[in-house]
Amino acid sequence: MLRRTLLARIAAVAFGALVINAHADDAVLKIGTMSGPDAQIWTEVTKVAARDGLKLKVIEFNDYVQPNAALDAGDLDANGFQHQPFLDSQIKQRGYKIVNVGLTYVSPMGFYSKKLKSLKDLPQGAKVGIQNDPSNGNRALLLLQKYGVIKLKAGAGTNGSNATPLDVAENPKKIKLVELDAAQLPRTLSDLDAASINTDYAVKAGLSPVKDAIAIEDLKGPYANLIAVREQDRSKPWVKKLVAAYESPEVKQYIDTQFKGAIIPSF
């Protein structure tokens, strides 16, 4: 009787393990990303991942705050929309336990204008829009410095620190920096002399970084986008499969063909 009971328990445990494993294999991974180019690319990744038995559901967001909050809360399994400086800033501000597990693409930030052909043409007292989040606002200020519009205090915006308008040391044209949510910048372009706009929002607004930007970042820099997961998940087998699906030749070809240099693979 004791032996039968023991065998029955072993069988039950084994059956339970099979059920758990089957559930893991059939589970749908929820991937958070931004609507627009990011979502388009992840749709292609979904097709490649399916060949390796990985089922993905792409969940679209319209601002940069929600995807990390949802990932940290366990509502997502991974996200792919941000660069390392932005993730570092979010971790510092909110204490997220989120890590980078692979790179996706780089989309150089640019300045756009409906009135000017170059940042050199900015008039005295021009209104210039920049992002109000620390990492992207920093990018915008560094780009203004690169093109000689302003000069920042020594060391501002480098070595992990984010420059703010308070770090502007020289502003010969006395431009007025207007800090706005990144998503609002394309819609307010008519009210500004120029504005820095992230590529995903620029594309959604019908702007081409290659053709329309009056100033643009270097293609090689720290702003390659990444795939992020919770620290507790970083060594799970599905993470490696997910990254491999994104870094596949099919996805690279799709990015190159679809975006024609506005978005460049980082793998």
Q: Are residues 131 and 160 in the same domain?
A: yes
Q: Give the pLDDT confidence of 40-72 residue by residue, as tens digits.
A: 999 999 999 999 999 999 999 999 999 999 999
When pLDDT is cut at 50, 70 and 90, the band that residue 166 belongs to is: very high
CA nearest neighbour of 229 among 87, 99, 81, 45: 99
Q: Where are the beta strands (DSSP E) in the chain?
A: 28-34, 55-61, 78-83, 98-106, 110-112, 127-131, 151-152, 168-170, 176-180, 194-197, 215-216, 224-230, 264-265
| CATH at 183 | 3.40.190.10
Mean pLDDT of 173-194: 97
Q: Are residues 65 and 93 in the same domain?
A: yes
- Whether the pLDDT of residue 185 is over 90: the answer is yes
Mean pLDDT of 88-98: 94
Query: Domain range spanning residue 92?
Result: 2-108+222-265
Among residues 177, 193, 216, the one where a domain terminates is: 216
Total domain count for the chain? 2
CA nearest neighbour of 201 among 12, 61, 84: 61
- Angle of CA points 243, 245, 250, to nearest 5°: 135
pLDDT (0 to 100) of residue 262:
82
> How many whole angstroms separate alpha carbon 110 and alpha carbon 255?
19
Q: Give the pLDDT confidence of 211-233 residue by residue, as tens digits.
A: 899 999 987 778 899 999 999 99
Q: Are residues 28 and 91 in the same domain?
A: yes
- Whether the pLDDT of residue 21 is over 80: the answer is no
Radius of gyration of the chain (CA): 23
Q: Are residues 48 and 127 in the same domain?
A: no
pLDDT (0 to 100) of residue 202:
92
Q: Are residues 123 and 91 in the same domain?
A: no
Q: Are residues 152 and 241 in the same domain?
A: no
> How many whole angstroms separate alpha carbon 118 and alpha carbon 147?
9
Say which residue the tokens 């620029």 belong to.
202
The mean pLDDT of the chain is: 90
Q: Are residues 66 and 104 in the same domain?
A: yes
Among residues 216, 231, 246, the one where a domain terminates is: 216
Q: Are residues 33 and 15 in the same domain?
A: yes
Q: Are residues 193 and 69 in the same domain?
A: no
Q: Are residues 88 and 140 in the same domain?
A: no
Mean pLDDT of 2-18: 42
Percent of all residues in the chain with a pLDDT value above 90, rounded to a whole number: 78
